[in-house]
Structure 1
């Protein structure tokens, strides 16, 4: 085509016109295109190929690619075109819709810059370092080229500002997993968990994306002064679900109920007729409760405390006192243990009673003293 015809053809276009073209040549810093329905050539400078900084035009386009373009400048024999502006215009409409709907976007990390990551969504998107993960990352160098999911957290077309977050995706997934886990948990289940946090009143255990509380009273059958005496952070434990409050997301757990009970095999540990050592735990009007194993108390009936008659157990025993007991009867199913203290005590053949005689009667026979008193009574 002659130069005159080119100039005539060029005058048919204005800045801002939308055109389509096919890439005919890719140079290092620009791309040549054949404009459809025209005999004109178009030139796309490397700066107008992408919203991101690129080193080579071949990183974005290849010969034969069909492109939608916008006229930036009308020169005498060619059009200066932009792929970037058309891509951005299409992108903003799509991104605004995704932003309003809270959609998740999957794309490749194009670059790692100071303060975060850069992605290309038709416009340049920035992911601040604090929004990349839900944990601290010291070095982002290996994130370049990685496919990741993001949510748009800030969008301003006028300021050409697009902020994205991968952390928001992770947190949304965590909420969904937590809800699914909460819905699947049933009272009575035994689950493996990990001790996450320990407090004065118990331990919080992660049972798959959601924490449940093991109250200090549910850590062990034995008395626990401090939860750290029984469990440590990071420890794997078996827990039983005691209750689930789905509305308030509260789960009560027990480690104790996954352990063999203190009464298990009690018939072997405390067979009838055996002698045990225990501690007086409680005194009641009808006897004393003796702890013979952690969590196992047996009753010494008041009639089994001493050979002599006593009005209350307090006359002979006190709480905390260690005593030896004999097993009279054991019932594992009903968790009852009958014990005796007196069966281990020697029974006096004859009860000894000491009488303190008056001072003036010393040196006399008891019969003489009683005889004198009888005489006085007759008078």
Structure 2
């Protein structure tokens, strides 16, 4: 037919094996979907092929008159085309992958899975692969293990940006690289996260790196900074004291800078501030026991028994002038100190060693000692009152037991009109008068 048309100078676009064509659904039977693609007869797609679609997609596609892409598998003995809808979609995805490789267009999607060799992603209906060597350094650092193991399950569903670096349709091979676009991907993801985040949001993230000034935590693909002062309510010298790379943490968004693309995070603001409870029991002038935690040129820090930390300024360590706190105390020393200042807003406690025995606080010390003694006395009196209140209850309980026993006494005792006490004694007397068997 094609030869005859060519001889007449005419051309017809006959479908060929391997073609992807647009066709129109002309009929649906129990076994097949009939599609017109311009051949001498309608082509057929096995109906079971559409079972692999979602119910919504299946309902949308399977309609008379619907135009769909089809892949020409070949022709039957009658010349009717054998077609595939799914292979047409797959062929379109391969073409898209090839265009992305040529144009360096970035792939944006989510991680679909992993295996011993790397990460699995989906490009349409294609299965793409990101080898271990092509995973970004930041993502590798955020994982608990360098090699795929069950902990990698948490990666599934996470966003990822990569570049297509190899497309081989004949070998069904689609390779991507996250490492090749790591910086570009980070910026792209960060822009998206910044657009979605709001101050006050609480997110779960993973520690990606630790520095002397804080910890970087990845949330939804973008890194935010938890400053050293926002890690814990208690003083810490370095992030490593309480955090480690790969650790999962909850963070609160406390600042967003869209222009500089910076996210400020806090861990401690999701925990109760110990000042709200622990500092409430402290009073200026109070004597407290504490442990020296560290020495600085300007003074010594000490941790109170309730966990709060205060500063003993160098001028409050001794009556004599000293050059350094180490002349008076050392780390680990347990000392008695006096509270000389409490600043709830700044969350600071001022302590003094030299004022522990000063006469200026003698009256206050006496008042506090009397108050403590009075409190102890009240507690003792309270215990005595509770014991006295319990005694009548014990007596009432004993009387109730006697009455209950009387009610269970023998019917003969009740018939004789004996008192409860006599009824209780009756069984014993009866046993004494019974004749003994020989």
Which has the larger helix fraction? Answer: 2
Q: TM-score range with shorter-chain normalisation?
A: 0.3 to 0.5
Report 1 or 2 for greater relative contact order, CA contacts < 8 Å, sequence distance ≥ 6: 1
Q: What TM-score do the two structures reach when normalised by structure 1?
A: 0.44
Q: What TM-score do the two structures reach when normalised by structure 2?
A: 0.40
Which has the larger strand fraction? Answer: 1
